[in-house]
Amino acid sequence: MKTAENTRGTGSDGPRKRGLCVLCGLPAAGKSTFARALAHRLRQEQGWAVGVVAYDDVMPDAFLAGARARPALSQWKLLRQELLKYLEYFLMAVINGCQMSVPPNRTEAMWEDFITCLKDQDLIFSAAFEAQSCYLLTKTAVSRPLFLVLDDNFYYQSMRYEVYQLARKYSLGFCQLLLDCPLETCLQRNGQRPQALPPETIHLMGRKLEKPNPEKNAWEHYSLTIPSPACASEASLEVTDLLLTALENPVKYAEDNMEQKDTDRIICSTNILHKTDQTLRRIVSQTMKEAKDEQVLPHNLKLLAEELNKLKAEFLEDLKHGNKKYLCFQQTIDISDVISFFHYEKDNIVQKYFSKQH
């Protein structure tokens, strides 16, 4: 692996290197503090342009306030995808060397917070031409290697995979950093915050956290787990080397040999569908058992069963025909990925019927 010393520099030879880093972990694990320190160090030591996008700072305040009451996961998912779309608009401007366009459909408060985030880190600035505002890239953003660090919980693998897809689409470097902080430490820190999350929310995330698994998933190859908070500073060189390696090895967008991939998909589909169907049936069955244990009313039990079975059928249809209503990934047909996405959507349904968090 390359070391920091021999890859510093902002020379103009060759294409600019750009990357996305997913910073994940439980609430109050120290991610934001770590991200700020990392960005400062990379700017000072590597001369890079670095943008830290903290989801808590960009997502609408009203939505975050509602998060303590567990809002609809569908709304949460849409806002997360909208934020990724903002990032894509910025990346397109950087790659094409042009001004950043304004998305036609946007949540105004979130867009303004995103713009402020980029401005505060010297990546864009506003200009007005013919009474119309536009966003221009700074010299820093276009003349140096660029890394965007996305700071959020990212406790589901599917959340991180969406970022990987963006990296693959534009041939960017991609890596993941997990701040592995003890649950009790997170709970203690959270309790000291002015707007603390309910402890059960952190317990729930702790149970559902899907840690990066480089041995199983090739797309998670560039991942690093950092014991937090004690060892975060000690891992600085290891973190820098991971980022450097990711920059030097951008994700390749595989457009070639699509015919062979289609053939492979057909060969695998029967076996994958069968196994996935069995697994989703077990999940639905277990969820219905939990609903009965929660003493959900019979009428609601019937509605819950109908919704879960409809969801299962739509997932299998996606997997079979590539409709991609839910399974938006293009190359992954690993059952674990499908199950992760199914749990994500299932929770959205379950919360309407359960009085207790699951």
pLDDT tens by residue, 298-350: 888 889 999 999 988 888 887 777 655 666 544 445 677 778 788 888 888 88
C-alpha 88/C-alpha 59 separation (Å) is 16
Longest dimension (CA), the chain: 68
Q: What is the pLDDT of residues 119-142, one digit of tens each?
A: 999 999 987 654 456 799 999 999
Structural domain ending residue among the three candidates 248, 266, 298: 248
Peptide bond into 229 cis (omega under 30): yes
Q: Which residue has the tokens 């039990």?
A: 301
6 occurs within a structural domain: no
Domain tally for the chain? 2
1 occurs within a structural domain: no
- Whole-model pTM above 0.85? no
Mean pLDDT along residues 269-274: 64
- Asked whether residue 236 falls in the same domain as residue 340, the answer is no
Structural domain ending residue among the three candidates 208, 230, 248: 248
Average pLDDT, the chain: 81
12 occurs within a structural domain: no
Structural domain ending residue among the three candidates 225, 248, 271: 248
For residue 43, pLDDT over 90 is answered with yes
Mean pLDDT along residues 234-250: 90
- Asked whether residue 76 falls in the same domain as residue 208, the answer is yes
81 occurs within a structural domain: yes
Residue 326's domain spans which residues? 257-354
The pLDDT score that the predictor gives to residue 251 is 93
The pLDDT score that the predictor gives to residue 336 is 73
C-alpha 214/C-alpha 331 separation (Å) is 17
78 occurs within a structural domain: yes
- Burial of residue 213 (CB within 10 Å: 0-12, 13-18, 19+) is exposed
